[in-house]
A and B are shown apart, each in its own frame.
Chain A
């Protein structure tokens, strides 16, 4: 089964359901808000991936983002080179994922080229899902539009795995291609469109809610995500302040070894970003 075909096949249903939503908004007197919401998503949608510092550093050094399967493959090769025994790849992935391996593996293995899938989140501004990593890596819009495969899922894909199988009936309703992403998002956030102020939409679409229950529209591609595809990297002012605090430690006393390394990694990231002409936005 092909996930991206499912996304294309859902287009008519999305249009139909969105027409109904438009009708409901008209009746409730919130047609303007609905239209503005759709326009905002059309104009601003991007794919983002939140990364920890070392992860981004590796992407910039190697030139490409690697999914969990590739990371494991690399580690296996490294161990083999070092003469250490390695375990079969699938087993290694299961071992890595532990008792919770199943949802990811079940989802990926349900689809063609499942082990090539790379996951991100829809972003229309803001810092993304900082609980996953403080650095919000945003892919260029024109690049994402050129990806030969790109689908959006209403929720975290793992939530569609129920009783060891993917709930395809539900997934088929909740997936869209890039052309219809505004419709999928509008359907998901019907109540928010009227309730939430325009300037808060970006944080409603992609945020942590409660005890790390992440609310986001998942973006999935099997295209290779290269470092040259990055438009910008965002970091919170609060996080940057922590780094500046580390740097200022060095004025008063000897900096802690780990903090020194952290600064060093961030400095390396900044240099690599500059070389690629990518901006680090502190917001």
Chain B
């Protein structure tokens, strides 16, 4: 279906579109549910008082319109020399989120991400949330965040156990003499220590 943009605010990615003989306001996040049918008067007001510009660009479908609006928006940001924000800055917005929304996300992490196996995603979310004053001061949120981190921690321990169980087999099968001489426990203990310090040799600080 051909869709025409009749007015657009490129700096915000908002547009009035004509579908057949009906006009809709299309705005981020561009969900179909957020399209509002409007009258011609609303377009007039937007153009006369709200900084919208007239347009007559046509597209083959709504996804093309959305892609165009997103591209135009990004271009307008770049044209003004605005650099893409860092990941850290993107998450700063969480600081101001109402408790209700933070709780929703902690629930999502616990009830959706963890069952889907996205435990590290859930954990990094919980890590960031637990630093927020709002979470620190809210027992319910704090408990949920801690619960997620406990699941993650348990999972990490499990992974470690699995790794070392597999290693036992490798030692026994491939290095039987070493196992005979140092015992499997001794070898694993040494290997854990190396893994923990991240280097083969133990270096004393300040040592030559």
Q: Which of A's residues lie within 8 Å of B, judged by CB?
A: 52-55, 68, 71, 96-98, 100-101, 103-104, 119, 131-133, 156, 158, 211-214, 237, 240-248, 250-252, 255-264, 266-267, 270, 280, 282
Report which of B25, B94, B104 forms a contact with A247, defined as CB distance below 8 A: B94
- List B contacts of A212 (CB < 8 A): 25, 36-39, 41-42
User: In the bound complex, do residue A248 and residue B105 qualify as a contact, i.e. CB atoms below 8 Å apart?
Assistant: yes
- List A contacts of B13 (CB < 8 A): 258
Residue B44 at the chain A interface, CB threshold 8 Å? yes
- List A contacts of B41 (CB < 8 A): 212-213
User: In the bound complex, do residue B45 and residue A133 qualify as a contact, i.e. CB atoms below 8 Å apart?
Assistant: no
- List A contacts of B121 (CB < 8 A): 251-252
- List A contacts of B51 (CB < 8 A): 55, 68, 71
Residue from B46, B98, B104 whose CB has the most chain A CB atoms within 10 Å: B98
User: In the bound complex, do residue B25 and residue A261 qualify as a contact, i.e. CB atoms below 8 Å apart?
Assistant: no
Residue B124 at the chain A interface, CB threshold 8 Å? yes
Contact A131 B44, CB 8 Å, known A237-B98, A244-B93, A261-B77? no
User: In the bound complex, do residue B45 and residue A156 qualify as a contact, i.e. CB atoms below 8 Å apart?
Assistant: yes
Interface residues on B, range: 35 or more
Shortest Cβ-Cβ A-B pairs, 6 listed = A212-B38, A104-B48, A264-B85, A98-B54, A212-B42, A100-B44
- The minimal Cβ–Cβ distance linking B151 to chain A, given in whole angstroms, is 16
User: In the bound complex, do residue B93 and residue A270 qualify as a contact, i.e. CB atoms below 8 Å apart?
Assistant: yes
Interface string of B149-175 (1 = CB under 8 A from A): 000000000000000000000000000
Residue B11 at the chain A interface, CB threshold 8 Å? yes
- List B contacts of A257 (CB < 8 A): 70, 74, 84
Report which of A97, A245, A261 forms a contact with B47, defined as CB distance below 8 A: A97
State in angstroms the CA–CA spacing of A158 and B42 once bound together: 11
User: In the bound complex, do residue B48 and residue A255 qualify as a contact, i.e. CB atoms below 8 Å apart?
Assistant: no
- The minimal Cβ–Cβ distance linking B45 to chain A, given in whole angstroms, is 7
- The minimal Cβ–Cβ distance linking A77 to chain B, given in whole angstroms, is 16
Contact A260 B53, CB 8 Å, known A52-B14, A266-B93? no
User: In the bound complex, do residue B101 and residue A158 qualify as a contact, i.e. CB atoms below 8 Å apart?
Assistant: no
Residue B92 at the chain A interface, CB threshold 8 Å? yes
- List B contacts of A101 (CB < 8 A): 48
State in angstroms the CA–CA spacing of A53 and B100 once bound together: 23
For residues 52 through 97 of chain B, which have their beta carbon under 8 Å from a beta carbon of chain A?
Answer: 53-54, 70, 73-74, 77, 82, 84-85, 87, 89-94, 96-97
User: In the bound complex, do residue A240 and residue B90 qualify as a contact, i.e. CB atoms below 8 Å apart?
Assistant: no
Residue B9 at the chain A interface, CB threshold 8 Å? yes
Report which of A131, A237, A240 forms a contact with B38, defined as CB distance below 8 A: A131
- The minimal Cβ–Cβ distance linking A129 to chain B, given in whole angstroms, is 10
21 contacts between A and B (CB under 8 A): A54-B11, A54-B12, A68-B49, A96-B47, A97-B47, A97-B48, A97-B54, A212-B36, A213-B39, A214-B42, A237-B98, A240-B97, A244-B93, A247-B90, A250-B87, A250-B91, A251-B121, A251-B124, A258-B28, A263-B85, A264-B90
- Apart from A52-B9, A240-B96, A246-B29, what are 4 other A-B pairs with CB-CB below 8 Å? A131-B38, A240-B101, A241-B101, A251-B125
- List B contacts of A246 (CB < 8 A): 29, 90
State in angstroms the CA–CA spacing of A264 and B73 once bound together: 13
Residue B118 at the chain A interface, CB threshold 8 Å? yes
State in angstroms the CA–CA spacing of A201 and B42 once bound together: 23
- The minimal Cβ–Cβ distance linking A47 to chain B, given in whole angstroms, is 15
- The minimal Cβ–Cβ distance linking B136 to chain A, given in whole angstroms, is 18
